[in-house]
Amino acid sequence: MEKNEVEQTLAELTKTADDAVMYKAIGSLLVKAEKAKVSEELTERKDLLGTRSTVIARQEERIRSQVKEAQTKLQEDLRPVSGQPSS
């Protein structure tokens, strides 16, 4: 979601003139900023969000695999052993 906002903002920045007056939010303040600097910061933010997304996807896949293994092991442990008399 945040990545989409950053991408949209970068797209709008490309449409603005290089000498356009620009402000960025810092906390509750708006501070005048240069287009190049804002663009650089947003690009870095986009890259960071992409990296985080990749890491989280890998962690999710690893956890899914571990859960599947645990589920399989649990099902095997709960299966009655053949040849044992029933109570």
Burial class (CB in 10 A: 0-12, 13-18, 19+), 1: exposed
Q: What is the second-level CATH architecture of the domain 2-76?
A: Orthogonal Bundle (1.10)
Q: Where are the domains of the chain?
A: 2-76
pTM of the model: 0.71
Tell which phi-psi region holds residue 27, choosing left (phi > 0), alpha (psi between -120 and 50) or beta: left
| Residue (of 44, 38, 52) closest to 1 by Cα position | 52
Angle between helices 35-78 and 2-15 (to 10 degrees): 160
pLDDT at 15: 93
Tens-of-pLDDT digits for all 87 residues of the chain?
A: 899 999 999 999 999 999 899 999 999 999 999 999 999 999 999 999 999 999 999 999 999 999 999 999 999 888 876 655 555
